[in-house]
Each structure stands twice: as structure tokens, then as C-alpha cells.
Amino acid sequence: MAENDYRILVVDDEEDLCEILKFNLETEGYAVETANSAEEVLTLDLSSYNLLMLDVMMGQMSGFALARKLKQNENTKDIPIIFLTARDTENDTVTGFNLGADDYISKPFSIREVLVRIRAVLRRTIGQSEEEGHNMIKYQELILNLDNKTLSIEGNDVPVTKTEFEILRTLLEDKGRVFSRQQLIDRIWPNDVLVLDRTVDVNITRLRKKVGPYSKCIVTRLGFGYYFDA
């Protein structure tokens, strides 16, 4: 996701500060909207925002109280939050993180610091979200999707059998570890099926052909077995 795809809501009762942050964040390519109170935020549809920046000390409802409400709501509980505050105390910091904050920035702050913090939070939280949505094992442009049991290489789907998929999964999940033929048999084939060492070799050969540019990563350790060399 590119920066200009991220939507950020800045919430602070200082309108000038909101405008300064909005201008600088939009210059960086973010889509930014502002609000000047917690009460105003609660009237908005927050589901499309990728990040909320909340001032702690605001009017009737504080940023902490707002965050508590948002974290209790199923539709907003996963939106990352960065707190902005003029109160740099250990208790406030602990309170913020206990509420589920992703970062805490003390005023006065430099725009450069804010940009660095925002990038770090988005990279961490959006990355986790995408991985959770697509349970995958990746090595460069080779991707095993564990949810729909598919393999793609450089964006192209590669048909594999269940056995080939499980062999590749086993090797990828523990890169560098040498698996003997018997270990692979024990992990992948049903216990009531008689499988010869040669069967493993045949499946490895077929798998190497299918993974193309990554065939050399599936290495034979003579006398021991196979491993994925990353």
C-alpha cells in the first residue's frame, strides 16, 4: 500500500496544530482529515482510516476516554492510535499504552519526528493486518498461501499437488534445517500408507521443476536429506 492510500485523522482542539499537521502530512502524500474534539470524532465513520492521531487533553472528553471507547467497539478496535500530548509523564505514557496506543508523541515535536513515527506505526500495523488476512509463507517472490493452499511465483499461480505443497511448506517453515526422507514421510504422508524413499525423491524432483527460479533453493544433502537454502 502506497502512502497516498493511507487515510489519517488528526484530532486536536488546537485548530492551528491540526492545520500544520494536515499540511505537512498531505505534502508527504497522506490523505488527512481533522477534528477538534472527541465528540466530533464519534459522529464520523472511522472505518476507512488507517491511523488516528489523538490529543490527550481535549474539552469534555479526553483522548484517553475516546480511545477507550474506540477500543471497545468492534468496528474501530483495530485502528492504530498515536497519542499527542503536552504532558510528558510516565503515568500518562503507561496509561496510553495500556489503552492500546501504538505510539506516544510529546509536544512540542518536530514534523520530521512525527513523520518517522507515523511511517513506523503504519509499517508495523498494516503489515500485520495484511499478513493476518492472508496467512502466507514468503520467500522473495515465492508465496505459499496457507489458507487456500496455493503457490504463486512472481505473481503467477503454480499448480501443485497436496504432497508437493506440504513438502515445500515443511522446508520453508524451517529454512536451513535438513529433513531426512523419513522425517518428511512422517510429517506429510498418512501413517497407514507405505511410502518409499524413492517416492520422496520423485516429489522433490517434480517440485523443483515447478518452482523454476527457486529450484536451486531446494538442496540435496547427500546421505542426509533435503533443505531449503535461503
Residue-wise pLDDT tens for the chain (230 aa)? 445 578 999 999 999 999 999 999 999 999 999 999 999 999 998 988 999 999 988 888 988 999 999 988 888 888 999 998 876 666 667 777 777 788 888 888 889 889 988 988 887 776 554 444 458 888 888 999 888 889 999 888 999 999 999 999 999 988 999 999 999 999 898 887 788 999 999 999 999 999 999 999 999 999 999 999 97
Residue 95 belongs to what H/E stretch?
A: helix 90-98
Instruction: List the beta bridge partners of residue 221.
Output: 225
Which pLDDT score, from 0 to 100, does residue 90 have? Answer: 60
Same fold, 3-133 and 136-228: no
Domain residue extents for the chain: 3-133, 136-228
Question: Cell numbers at residue 86, please?
Answer: 503536552
Which pLDDT score, from 0 to 100, does residue 36 have? Answer: 94
Using alpha carbons only, how large is the chain's radius of gyration in Å? 25
CATH topology of domain 3-133: Rossmann fold (3.40.50)
Please identify, in words, the CATH class of the domain defined by 136-228: mainly alpha
Report the candidate in 227, 210, 229, 209 with the shortest Cα–Cα distance to residue 170: 227
Between the CA of residue 113 and those of 106, 107, 196, 218, what are the distances in Å?
10, 11, 60, 44
Which pLDDT score, from 0 to 100, does residue 132 have? Answer: 47
Q: Give the separation between CA 57 and CA 37, rounded to whole angstroms.
A: 10
Unique residue bearing C-alpha cell 535461503: 230
